[in-house]
């Protein structure tokens, strides 16, 4: 274990630090990681952000993005960095299986492991934890870590604010989910005061689509959306051939599931996609419906109550049929 006074004393001198985040990082994963990175480099530490995989192009404008190392492209260098690090920050995930091969490299490392996360059921691999499921984003917890835990509000700058704003904006559905309470709005206001250009960040993340992505979205909505009124559920399935046809790249499929959830009366939406190695499910729900329970129980995954994911080794058709067959078990909740 590492206590806060011990951590503060370690951070008082330059340290070798690695920051990592989950597989296929999203806006919160990258925003929280690069926000913490901008803070730590300002304090004189030697810091590297290592992502387990690549991430969407609409996050590549983030400050210091060019310093990010992608594990799958730089395994040897990453393994060395993790081995030599005094501190390893794990952001926006809480089980080492979420970072693939990199997870076991971190488990075996000697450095202190620090978890900053807002997902349910953390695994016990860390030495220091700043964790709350009430936070709307890991970026909110990074803000809290710097400002309240390290009591270092004076070190906040425009780069940190820009990254943390991005994380909070993306994970709170642009400040609209129930998790975006008044405290989150106050943090947002503080980040704007610190230089985050909220209008520009929104534009760079959400109005930055390729033509292919928009046409693919049109295809999904016109041809692939299936509404199961008897279960208040909507499903969109996508084959590997369709991904190829529309030249879909990392990030292009993000958010499409939300369109399925936006149909009136729909309580549960699924986006089921045939990836090269497995079939991946993204679930979204409204109200109390536990999307994460379905992912955990049937698809080896997890997440939040209203946003969760999992995977299957079965074919796209079999996975979709399995998902449909599970709905009967939840019929009462879905029709409430």
Residue ranges in contact with ligand 5GP by CB under 6 A: 98, 119, 282, 301-304, 307-311
Ordered strands of the 46-51 beta sheet: 69-70, 46-51, 16-21, 87-91, 112-117, 128-131
- Of 45 and 304, nearer to ligand 5GP (C-beta) is 304
- Of 28 and 274, nearer to Mn ion (C-beta) is 28
Contact between 92 and Mn ion (CB under 5 A)? Answer: yes
Partner interacting with residue 138 (select from Mn ion, ligand 5GP, none; CB below 5-8 Å by kind): Mn ion
Partner interacting with residue 48 (select from ligand 5GP, Mn ion, none; CB below 5-8 Å by kind): none
Taking the complex as a whole, the smallest distance from the CB of residue 272 to ligand 5GP amounts, in Å, to 11
- Of 192 and 311, nearer to ligand 5GP (C-beta) is 311
Partner interacting with residue 301 (select from ligand 5GP, Mn ion, none; CB below 5-8 Å by kind): ligand 5GP
| Residue at token pair 């729900």 | 285
> According to CB under 5 A, which one of 24, 28, 30, 191 is a site residue for Mn ion?
28
Taking the complex as a whole, the smallest distance from the CB of residue 150 to Mn ion amounts, in Å, to 21
What is the C-alpha to C-alpha distance for residues 8 and 278, in angstroms, rounded to an integer?
43
Q: Concatenate the DSSP letters of all residues of 128-176 into one string.
A: EEEE-TT-S-HHHHHHHIIIIIS--GGG--HHHHHHHHHHHHHHTTTTT
- Of 157 and 250, nearer to ligand 5GP (C-beta) is 250
What is the C-alpha to C-alpha distance for residues 70 and 52, in angstroms, rounded to an integer?
6
What is the C-alpha to C-alpha distance for residues 45 and 57, in angstroms, rounded to an integer?
27
Taking the complex as a whole, the smallest distance from the CB of residue 41 to Mn ion amounts, in Å, to 22
- Of 90 and 243, nearer to Mn ion (C-beta) is 90
The residues, ordered by sequence, that sit 6+ positions from 201 with a Cβ below 8 Å of its Cβ are 162, 165, 166, 169
Crossing angle (nearest 10°) for helices 316-326 and 291-299 = 130
């Amino acid at each position: 274990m590492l206590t806060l006074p011990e951590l503060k004393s370690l951070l008082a001198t330059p340290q070798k630090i690695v920051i990592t985040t989950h597989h296929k990082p999203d806006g919160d994963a990258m925003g929280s990681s690069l926000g913490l990175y901008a803070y730590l480099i300002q304090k004189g530490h030697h810091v590297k952000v290592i992502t387990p995989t690549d991430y969407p192009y609409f996050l590549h404008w983030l400050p210091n993005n060019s310093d990010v190392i992608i594990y799958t492209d730089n395994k040897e260098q990453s393994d060395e960095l993790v081995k030599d690090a005094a501190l390893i920050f794990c952001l926006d995930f809480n089980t080492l299986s979420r970072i693939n091969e990199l997870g076991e490299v971190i488990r075996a490392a000697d450095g202190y492991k620090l978890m900053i996360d807002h997902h349910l059921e953390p695994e016990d691999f860390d030495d220091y934890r700043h964790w709350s499921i009430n936070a709307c984003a890991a970026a909110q917890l990074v803000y809290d870590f710097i400002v309240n835990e390290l009591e270092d509000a004076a070190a906040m700058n425009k780069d940190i604010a820009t990254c943390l704003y991005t994380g909070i904006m993306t994970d709170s559905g642009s400040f609209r989910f129930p998790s975006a309470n008044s405290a989150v709005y106050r943090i947002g206001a503080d980040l704007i005061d610190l230089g985050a250009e909220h209008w520009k960040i929104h534009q760079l993340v959400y109005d930055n689509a390729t033509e292919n992505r928009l046409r693919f979205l049109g295809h999904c909505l016109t041809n692939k959306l299936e509404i199961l009124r008897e279960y208040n559920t909507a499903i969109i399935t996508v084959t590997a051939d369709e991904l190829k046809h529309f030249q879909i790249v990392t990030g292009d499929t993000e958010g499409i599931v939300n369109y399925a959830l936006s149909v009136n009366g729909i309580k549960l939406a699924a986006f089921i996609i045939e990836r090269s190695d497995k079939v991946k499910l993204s679930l979204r729900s409204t109200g109390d419906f536990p999307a994460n329970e379905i992912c955990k129980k049937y698809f080896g995954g997890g997440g939040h109550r209203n946003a969760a994911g999992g995977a299957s080794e079965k074919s796209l058709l079999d996975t979709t049929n399995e998902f449909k067959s599970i709905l009967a078990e939840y019929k009462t909740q879905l029709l409430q």
